[in-house]
A = this chain, B = another copy of it.
Amino acid sequence: MPDLKEIADWIGGTLLGDATLEIHGVQALQRAGPDEIAYVARGREDVDPSGLRAGALLVASDSDLPYANRILVADPQLAFARLLDRFHPRHPFWTGIAANAHVCPGAQLEENVRLGPFSFIGENSRIGAGTEIHSGVAVYRDVTIGRDCLIYANVVIRENVVIGDRVIIHPGAVIGADGFGFGRTTEGAAVKIPQVGRVIIGDGCEIGANTCIDRSTIEETVLEPNVKLDNLVQVGHNVRIGRDSAISAQTGISGSTRVGAGVIMGGQVGVADHVEIADGVMIAAKSGVSGSIKSRAVVAGIPHQEIGEWRKNMVLARHLSAWKEKLRALEKRIRELEEK
């Protein structure tokens, strides 16, 4: 087990306290015991240290939280993330290529690809070095997957999809299914429009469990690098999402919408089709974005408004019955004045 000095060295922090204390694990702040290390998030330094039992704490460099053993770091959460990796290394799902996987002729697997049982790699698909594909995954033909990706069980990746390096795709996600595109006959019957466009997933993206990203008729659906999607998200055809954006569970982005960089969406948000969301916009959970948001703003509501406006209106809307009483009372006073 590492001692505190080793841990401080790993994460490049400044140790105050007992350098020889052995640390057996990482733990949440309120649950950590005397042989465990926890962290105090930036802005949470008002915690009462007397109630804590952790052997040591990671704290921000500029924090003056008093605690016997502490390591000062620039960002305690990110330092803690590195300790999590050290104390809980991920076990690879598989070593080498499973005998009961199915690799079609013409597929190319670079060195150190790990391919689990019951996974299928289609013709002419290429899997980059160090990428790990778990069980039951379907990679259709002509797919490109980059290096050091992590594709969990039962993911489906349709033909012609392009995936960058270090992408993580959680179980059951579906990349490149047909967009929801139909024409109508003069009698009103829906006629399928073929969807042959590509889906392109940038480096460092993460795609949640059972999330769906559709291909479009002929143009590209794009996630720029480092986009993070939670579970059960729907990304419609021909959508583009800018880098570093993060979208919470059960949100849906309709077709041909452009989402800027660094956009944050809460859960169960809906965004209409063919709109543009500027860089850095934040959208509260359950909002319905019905039109473009042209500049950085925080919005909420159905349809969306600037969040301050929304809050004011919401508070008022919750007291409409009081208003009704007031209106009645005013009417009575006017009638009395008129009768005079």
Contact = CB atoms under 8 A, between A and B. Distances in A.
B234 A231 contact: yes
B327 A226 contact: no
A212 B209 contact: yes
A20 interface: no
Interface string A46-57: 000000000000
A292 to B, nearest CB: 16
Contacts of A170: 174, 177-178
17 contacts: A26-B218, A28-B219, A81-B192, A84-B218, A102-B118, A118-B136, A136-B136, A136-B156, A170-B177, A177-B209, A189-B226, A210-B210, A212-B232, A250-B250, A286-B302, A316-B324, A334-B334
A326 interface: yes
Contact of A252 (B249, B312, B313): B249
Contacts of A331: 326, 330
A81 B191 contact: yes
Q: Name the prevailing secondary structure of the A interface residues.
A: loop
Contact of A244 (B118, B134, B188, B248): B188
Interface string A131-175: 000111010110000000000111010110000000010111010
A182 B247 CA distance: 12
A324 B135 CA distance: 61
Interface of A: 26-28, 31, 74-75, 77-78, 80-81, 84-85, 88, 90-91, 93, 98, 100, 102, 116-118, 120, 122, 134-136, 138, 140-141, 152-154, 156, 158-159, 168, 170-172, 174, 177-178, 180, 182-183, 185-186, 188-194, 196, 206, 208-210, 212, 214, 217-219, 226, 228, 230-232, 234, 236, 244, 246, 248-250, 252, 254, 262, 267-268, 270, 272, 285-286, 288, 302-303, 305, 309, 312-314, 316-321, 323-324, 326-327, 330-331, 333-334, 337-338
Chain copies in complex: 3
A32 to B, nearest CB: 9
B156 A153 contact: yes
A267 B270 contact: yes
